[in-house]
Amino acid sequence: MSRYFHKLHSRRSAPGLERRIWRRLPLAFLGSVLIPIALSVGTRMFPPEGSERVIAKTTATVDIFAFAAGLTAVTAVVTIAIGCVVVMIMKGPAYVADGYTLDAADEPAVNRKQDSD
């Protein structure tokens, strides 16, 4: 595949903030999954005082909140990961497309052909 692409130069940009963020993403992903699960489990282990109806309502509310918070956090982590990948690709080596000859005319060839007729 490398025969189709020609590197402009072998220089690369120095890694920056994206690499530090990239290294911390697994921990952020793990936290965004485990914290809502811990919240939901904690509600079941230490239920609020009251009737069964109050306990069921509170547990359901916490479960919905935990799911929504977890899903939002995971989406944020994935979005940041995509941004890091894009920046890492952009900082990679530059490639040049194959050159082509440019017809340096003042007007398109179609108009020139009609004028000569």
pLDDT tens readout for residues 46-67: 988 989 999 999 999 999 999 9
Asked if 99 and 6 count as a contact pair (C-beta separation under 8 A), the reply is no
Q: Of 69, 79, 73, which is closest to residue 21 (Cα–Cα)?
A: 79
List C-alpha distances in Å: 86 to 25, 47, 60, 65, 93: 15, 45, 39, 32, 13
Number of domains in the chain: 1
In terms of residue numbers, what domain contains 102? Answer: 2-116
Asked if 96 and 8 count as a contact pair (C-beta separation under 8 A), the reply is yes
Q: So what's the pLDDT on residue 117? A: 54
Per-residue model confidence as pLDDT tens for the chain (117 residues):
566 677 777 666 778 899 999 999 999 999 999 999 999 999 999 988 989 999 999 999 999 999 999 999 999 999 999 999 999 888 877 777 666 676 677 776 665 555 555
Q: pTM for this structure?
A: 0.70
